[in-house]
Structure 1
Amino acid sequence: MVAPVTTSAGGGTAKAASPGRGPTRGNVLAWLVVVPFLAYVGVFLVYPTVLVLAGAFQDSNGAFTLSNLTDLMKGVYLQAFWRSIELSAITALLGAVFGALLSWAVASGKADGLLRRVVVAAAGVLAQFGGVPLAFAFLATVGFQGFVTKFLQDTFGVNLFSGSAWIFELPGLTLVYTFFQIPLMVIVFLPALDGLRPQWREASESLGGTTWTYWRHVGGPILFSPFLGALLLLFANAFSAYATAAALVSQGSPIVPLQIRGFLTGEVLLGQENLGKALGLGMVIVVGVAMGLYALIQRRVSKWQ
């Protein structure tokens, strides 16, 4: 067959239009579907990030300055960052360890068993359970007038708050944060445990390997990268949490999110909102580093799989 040729007005020839060129109906529909998501990301993620980035380098008059960033490296602001990092690291480690143990217990059972379904469903709910409801639940349980506190005091004479209101300080935040860190670890780490093939253990045993040998040379190295990635994810999750701490700690600002709240809503720090934006930029950098390392680890795990 002879390819169709079209003649231009000047006497020349032009190539026939390729059927694959130009927008297709499927492409248009795909863009129509993704536009609302891009708009949502732009309004609620990109635009606030740009405002924080610009405000961190401005003074109260809008002039360029680096004083906001230098103030973060001293005094109460530096202490708030260290306390936030300490709180996030401790709760991430506790959540990773206990969540991994719970995931291992679930993975050892039947794939379609009742225990697995209950634990996975509960983890999906509890990982998102935070803010005011979680703070109220802990105060009603182990607060000054909580039923566990009153029960221990009336029955055994044990006072949970002898000389310290720890529930409203970093120890209390650690306990509350660990509550939603463990379920998140179950959700993230359970698929990695499911990826361990029974044939690997059988091969180890057939070669005379013990349980310790299997976990030392096979299971442990395979699960190390997913465990480390989940640990970084839990760290970022705790570092960026705000609602639970804001509902639990009514006075003082021991961590960075509460420091930012004081700058944006307090009446004592008027005219220093840009210092709060500098604190927000510091949080973005810390979380960005953690999530960048998490993405690199996930890429390595996906290549291995």
Structure 2
Amino acid sequence: MAIVGTIAEKAAGPVHTGSAVATRRPPFSFPRDLRLGDFLAVGPFVIFAVLFLLLPMAYLVVQAFQAKDGSFTFNNIAGLASPKIAGSFWYSIRVSAASAVIGAAIGLLMALAVIRGGLPGWINGALMTFSGVASNFAGIPLAFAFLATLGRIGLVTLLFKALGINIYARGGFDLISFWGLVLTYLYFQIPLMILIIAPAIHGLKKEWNEAAATLGATPAQFWRYVGLPVLWPNLLGTLSLLFANAFGAVATAYALSTSAFNIVPILLFAQIRGDVLGDSGLGASMALGMIVITALANVIYLVVRVRAERWLK
């Protein structure tokens, strides 16, 4: 434990005490050199956010507490407790959590391998380029790619059959299942994890590793007592972001199967598209529930990320 304390002190830097060193952060104030052009420059972003984020969100909030005759009601919110809707939320939470945890673990190992593993530099560049593309590859193209690869008549499935292996045998793999959907989500979850965690890994100072080695710590001890504790805020924040990313995904699951997955976005789509079972008020309340969950996950990510950046500085 002496090694741990010494390394932690080196990582955190010197600690100054006393009134002479202590400083008080000045209260927030607008810079005096701001000009009208600075506000005009961010004008398009503000307009876009108001038109396509704030106004639709306000409309959903109003609809969630409005009956079909326009009167105020809590029935739409109470409808979220029905077994079907509550089950869809629980299913979505489990899929999002599983894909986030597995994607974060695999992405972390891959990022550590290419950044601190001594691999050639071109592998790092190729992985980052691929991650930038794959993290945005979702929806119908991704679903078609997995169906053509791992579907019942997919390329890989037929290759395994030619070798005498039927991955769709009873009790075997099934793409249209919980773990099949998690596997599909991992295609964009892992690259997103690599892109987000890479700067934090680059922020691990070599001096910390050298100090640990000088004090006799093994690589495993360094990662257990120094590396992972320093990366932990970034990991927690990234987990929240990956969870929110998977929780709001709908096109991929809908393209794989329109009815096999009881996730919230698909059920929400069925409520607002106007079929015989449609209920716009209930759909608005479901959308409000999704907003609350994803907003909470993103708030956790932002708060933890700010604290992690302060630590790395």
Does the alignment pair 1:239 with 2:250? Answer: no
Structure 1: stretches of 5+ with no match in the other structure: 1-22
Residue 66 of structure 2 contacts residue 73 of structure 2 at CA under 8 Å; is this kept in 1? Answer: yes
Q: Cα distance 1:299–1:158, how it changes in 2: closer, same or farther (>3 A)?
A: same
**Alignment partner for residue 82 of structure 1, among 62, 82, 90?**
90
Partners of 1:258 and 1:284 in 2: how far apart?
A: 15
Structure 2: stretches of 5+ with no match in the other structure: 1-31
Query: Residue in 2 aligned with 1:296?
Result: 303
Amino acid at match of 1:73: A
Cα offset, 1:36, TM superposition: 1.2
Query: Residue in 1 aligned with 2:15?
Result: none
Query: Residue in 1 aligned with 2:142?
Result: 134
Q: Cα distance 1:34–1:94, how it changes in 2: closer, same or farther (>3 A)?
A: same
Cα offset, 1:173, TM superposition: 1.1
SS in 2 for 1:65: coil
Q: Sequence identity, in percent? A: 37
Partners of 1:77 and 1:165 in 2: how far apart?
A: 27
Does the alignment pair 1:154 with 2:162? Answer: yes
Cα offset, 1:160, TM superposition: 2.0
1:158-177 equivalences under 5 Å are 158-160=166-168, 162=170, 166-177=174-185
Deviation readout 1:17-60 (Å, 9 max, x if unpaired): xxxxxx99x72222222111111111110111011111010111
1:247-262 equivalences under 5 Å are 247-252=255-260, 254-262=262-270
Amino acid at match of 1:283: M
Deviation readout 1:150-179 (Å, 9 max, x if unpaired): 111122242425478832232221110011
1:62-141 equivalences under 5 Å are 62-109=70-117, 113-141=121-149
Query: Residue in 2 aligned with 1:276?
Result: 283
Query: Residue in 2 aligned with 1:204?
Result: 212
Amino acid at match of 2:157: T
How many residues were matched structurally? 281
Deviation readout 1:119-140 (Å, 9 max, x if unpaired): 0000000000001100000000
Cα offset, 1:112, TM superposition: 7.9
SS in 2 for 1:72: helix
Does 200-209 or 279-288 show the bigger shift? 200-209
Does 247-256 or 222-231 show the bigger shift? 247-256
Query: Residue in 2 aligned with 1:285?
Result: 292
Partners of 2:142 and 2:260 in 1: how far apart?
A: 20
Residue 253 of structure 2 contacts residue 261 of structure 2 at CA under 8 Å; is this kept in 1? Answer: no
Q: Cα distance 1:166–1:62, how it changes in 2: closer, same or farther (>3 A)?
A: farther
Partners of 2:220 and 2:167 in 1: how far apart?
A: 43
Query: Residue in 2 aligned with 1:16?
Result: none
Residue 96 of structure 1 contacts residue 231 of structure 1 at CA under 8 Å; is this kept in 2? Answer: yes
Q: Cα distance 1:143–1:111, how it changes in 2: closer, same or farther (>3 A)?
A: closer
SS in 1 for 2:66: coil
Cα offset, 1:253, TM superposition: 5.1
Amino acid at match of 1:91: S
Cα offset, 1:236, TM superposition: 0.7
Partners of 1:124 and 1:141 in 2: how far apart?
A: 22
What is the CA RMSD across the aligned residues, in angstroms? Answer: 1.9
Q: Cα distance 1:201–1:136, how it changes in 2: closer, same or farther (>3 A)?
A: same
| Structure 1 residue ranges, 4+ long, deviating more than 6 angstroms after superposition | none
Does the alignment pair 1:265 with 2:273? Answer: yes
SS in 2 for 1:115: helix
**Alignment partner for residue 50 of structure 1, among 35, 58, 67?**
58
Greater radius of gyration (CA): 1
Cα offset, 1:85, TM superposition: 0.3
Residue 95 of structure 1 contacts residue 185 of structure 1 at CA under 8 Å; is this kept in 2? Answer: yes
